[in-house]
Amino acid sequence: MTTTRAVIGIGTNVGDRLATLEASIWTLHETDGISVADVSGIWETAPWGGVDQDPYLNAVVVIETSLGPHELLADLQATEAVFGRDRDSEVRWGPRTLDLDILLYGDEVIDTPDLVVPHPRIEERAFVLVPLLEVLPGLTLPTGTRLTAALAALAPFDGMDLHIRLPDVPGRQGIQRPEGPSGGRAWLAGDPDH
């Protein structure tokens, strides 16, 4: 079975943000056709887009997937709905119970009415680029822009702090990260086995 490496941006600023992020990472890993390969640290970031709201927790998740890009998008949107996202009633760039974006899908450039990859604002968002640098250092985006150059263009990064490094996530075995905050698992009630 052929798989593609994809990168998912993940964020939330509603409810128990850490529990939502951690549970959603495991939900992705347990979805048919998706295997989580690595997870960045969890970064607390100021909201983006000018809407008055609480700070976000953001991360990026590297996956291996046998799903095509539009199948993957459908599964991500179904996962968002499970965690309470209602796309029909939300404000653009407003609060999110869970936001899952396909940032990269292999080296593909996709431009369709419902999916644009690389994500169209990837190079404008430090809250995407900084955690992306953790998991894919040396990356050159499909547009030809080096990740380090995109980050340098945004420096300095204000309103962004490492919140926590999850000690137990799928795909992390043996991957070392610089020291930072760490903590126990934020389990959802009734899910002690994952």
Q: Which residues are catalytic?
A: 85, 96, 99, 101
**Residue written as token pair 């969890």:** 42
* Host H or E run for residue 23: helix 17-29
Q: Is the dihedral of CA 80, 83, 87, 88 positive or negative?
A: positive
Backbone angles phi, psi at 54, to 5 degrees: -75, 160
Cβ neighbours of residue 173 under 8 Å, at least 6 residues apart?
A: none
- Asked if 5 contacts 106 with a C-beta cutoff of 8 angstroms, the reply is yes
CA pair distance 167, 42, nearest whole angstrom? 11
